[in-house]
Amino acid sequence: MDLRLTETQEAARQTARELAEKKLLPAAAKLDAGETFPVEAVKDLAEAGLLGMRIPESHGGAALDTVSYALTLMEIARADAAVAVTLSVNNLVAETLANFATPAQKDAWLPRLNTPEGLGAFALTEPQAGSDASNLRTRAEHKGSHYLLNGEKTWITSANHAGVFLVMAVTDPAKRSKGISAFLVEGGAKGMTVGKHEPKMGQRASHSCPVFFKDCKVPAANLLGGEGEGLKVALSGLDSGRIGIASLSVGILQACLEEMLRYSKERTAFGKPIADFQAIQWMIADTAVELEAARNLTLAAAWRKDAGEPIGEKAAMAKLFASEAANRAAYRATQVFGGYGYSREFRVERLYRDARVLTLYEGTSEIQRLVIARNVLK
């Protein structure tokens, strides 16, 4: 793997860094406190060409490689993880469409995902089907020129602001996991209702909502891939999504380290900066090592994806290590800040809350370990 960045990759990182520092970081605490969806941030991302990073140029996107995408998410998450996950899910939907859609579907749907109004939502999870993605109950009945969708989804990121939904539903219950299909559903479609967003511990500006389908009529032309290919479509998206969440985790790790370094040099105890104490130095050292390891694992998975290699195992490794390391770093940062780390007046309190979900979405740590073990044991 060539660890040197190309000019395009460095430019993508720099663009994201400038946007993050000038606009996202100053607004992050207020958005979090109010559980306010980052409407302006999404507009800024669109104007910077980042909303459609993974969309081909032929359909108005930036067509950036996976390494550029990972670097961009790291910078955005360093400022605001809620904005980063909104961006990650949009690009997950866009990339999945680019990989599985027909030419007509690409023409109709991909350009929307470049716009704030066409934000993407990935509708897989259900109340009884989280880690067990094959246990879906949402049904799609074929009625000639259309399908009727009935069922419920939950924890759907950006659902209340989305214009493009990628929905997995059962078309043939007898075939179990091979009877799941994927559909493109337009935001505001008749028969689809988005519920109130969940009151969450962290990443509160990213809205996660239930979505209900009651005789929602979806044109047969909106079937993505063939009937029965829905789980294949979903799992392909999750592999890419895990690189996204690993990247987001690296961003939080970086922010934790920066806060620890700054505060430990400013705060004094017993007549000297607490950075002079070995206990603090070891926490900083451990965080710096884990940041380097998490970043390299993530970029290695991204590089392999760009090289056309299978990434299931490597993406799982990156997501597992980076997400758990981010939680450890958030804990250490809070310890370094002491009582102030428990106050909402300080950034590390938000970082601590934002980090917690990283080991849960896009596959729990336990699922990542299963994926890794199955590959290692082959």
Q: Looking at beta carbons, which pairs linking 364-372 to residues 24 or more positions away fall under 8 Å? A: 364/131, 365/320, 365/323, 365/324, 366/131, 367/131, 368/242, 368/316, 368/317, 368/319, 368/320, 369/320, 371/312, 371/313, 371/316, 372/313, 372/316, 372/317, 372/320
Cβ partners under 8 Å of residue 165, min gap 6:
120, 121, 123, 156, 159, 184, 185, 186, 187, 189, 192, 211
Classify residue 101: in a domain, yes or no: yes
Out of 75, 126, 324, 362, which one is annotated catalytic?
362
Mean pLDDT of the chain: 96
| Per-residue pLDDT, 132 | 87
Classify residue 187: in a domain, yes or no: yes
What band does 45 get if pLDDT is binned at 50, 70 and 90?
Answer: very high
**Domain-terminating residue out of 64, 84, 118:** 118
Residues 165 and 88 in one domain: no
> Between residues 258 and 3, which one has the greater pLDDT?
258
> Where residue 302 sits, what CATH number does that domain have?
1.20.140.10
> Where residue 42 sits, what CATH number does that domain have?
1.10.540.10
Cα separation, 267 vs 274, in Å, equals 6
Classify residue 2: in a domain, yes or no: no
pLDDT tens digits along 192-215: 999 999 999 999 999 999 999 999
**Domain-terminating residue out of 95, 118, 141:** 118
Classify residue 205: in a domain, yes or no: yes
Q: Averaged over 252-273, what is the pLDDT?
A: 98
Classify residue 293: in a domain, yes or no: yes
Q: Count other C-beta atoms under 10 Å from residue 276's C-beta.
A: 14
| Per-residue pLDDT, 217 | 98
Q: Averaged over 314-336, what is the pLDDT?
A: 98
Residues 243 and 195 in one domain: no
Using the predicted structure, report yes or no on whether residue 51 has a pLDDT greater than 80: yes
Using the predicted structure, report yes or no on whether residue 3 has a pLDDT greater than 90: no
> Where residue 131 sits, what CATH number does that domain have?
2.40.110.10
Using the predicted structure, report yes or no on whether residue 1 has a pLDDT greater than 80: no
Classify residue 16: in a domain, yes or no: yes
- What angle, 0 to 180 degrees and rounded to 10, lies between the N-to-C axes of helices 347-356 and 312-337? 150
Residues 344 and 245 in one domain: yes
What band does 366 get if pLDDT is binned at 50, 70 and 90?
Answer: very high
Residues 306 and 354 in one domain: yes
What band does 130 get if pLDDT is binned at 50, 70 and 90?
Answer: confident
pLDDT above 90: percentage of residues in the chain: 96
> Between residues 238 and 191, which one has the greater pLDDT?
191
Residues 226 and 242 in one domain: no
| Per-residue pLDDT, 155 | 97
Q: Averaged over 307-329, what is the pLDDT?
A: 97
Domain that holds residue 41: 7-118
Using the predicted structure, report yes or no on whether residue 134 has a pLDDT greater than 90: no
Q: Count other C-beta atoms under 10 Å from residue 161's C-beta.
A: 20
Q: Averaged over 51-64, what is the pLDDT?
A: 94
Q: Averaged over 228-254, what is the pLDDT?
A: 95
- What angle, 0 to 180 degrees and rounded to 10, lies between the N-to-C axes of helices 278-306 and 312-337? 160
Q: How many CA atoms does the CB half-sphere of 50 hold within 13 Å?
A: 33
Using the predicted structure, report yes or no on whether residue 288 has a pLDDT greater than 90: yes
Cβ partners under 8 Å of residue 285, min gap 6:
none
pLDDT tens digits along 86-128: 999 999 999 999 999 999 999 999 999 999 999 999 999 999 9
Q: Are 295 and 302 in contact (CB under 8 A)?
A: no
Residues 244 and 317 in one domain: yes
Q: Hey, what amino acid is at 85?
A: V
Residues 137 and 223 in one domain: yes
Residues 240 and 299 in one domain: yes
Residues 175 and 238 in one domain: no
Residues 141 and 106 in one domain: no
Residues 255 and 372 in one domain: yes
Q: Is the Cα torsion angle 284, 285, 291, 292 positive or negative in sign?
A: positive
Neighbour-count burial of 347, counting CB atoms closer than 10 A to its CB (0-12 exposed, 13-18 middle, 19+ buried): buried
Using the predicted structure, report yes or no on whether residue 16 has a pLDDT greater than 80: yes
* Catalytic residue list contains 126: no
Classify residue 270: in a domain, yes or no: yes
SS3 assignment for the chain: CCCCCCHHHHHHHHHHHHHHHHHHHHHHHHHHHHCCCCHHHHHHHHHCCCCCCCCCHHHCCCCCCHHHHHHHHHHHHHHCHHHHHHHHHHHHHHHHHHHHCCHHHHHHHHHHHHCHHHCEEEECCECCECCCCCCCCCEEEECCCEEEEEEEEEEEECHHHCCEEEEEEECCHHHHHHHEEEEEEECCCCCEEECCCCCCCCCCCCCEEEEEEEEEEEEHHHEECCCCCHHHHHHHHHHHHHHHHHHHHHHHHHHHHHHHHHHHHHCEECCEEHHHCHHHHHHHHHHHHHHHHHHHHHHHHHHHHHCCCCCHHHHHHHHHHHHHHHHHHHHHHHHHHHHHHHCCCCHHHHHHHHHHHHHCCCCCHHHHHHHHHHHHCC
Residues 140 and 161 in one domain: yes
Classify residue 1: in a domain, yes or no: no
> How many domains, the chain?
3
**Domain-terminating residue out of 215, 230, 245:** 230
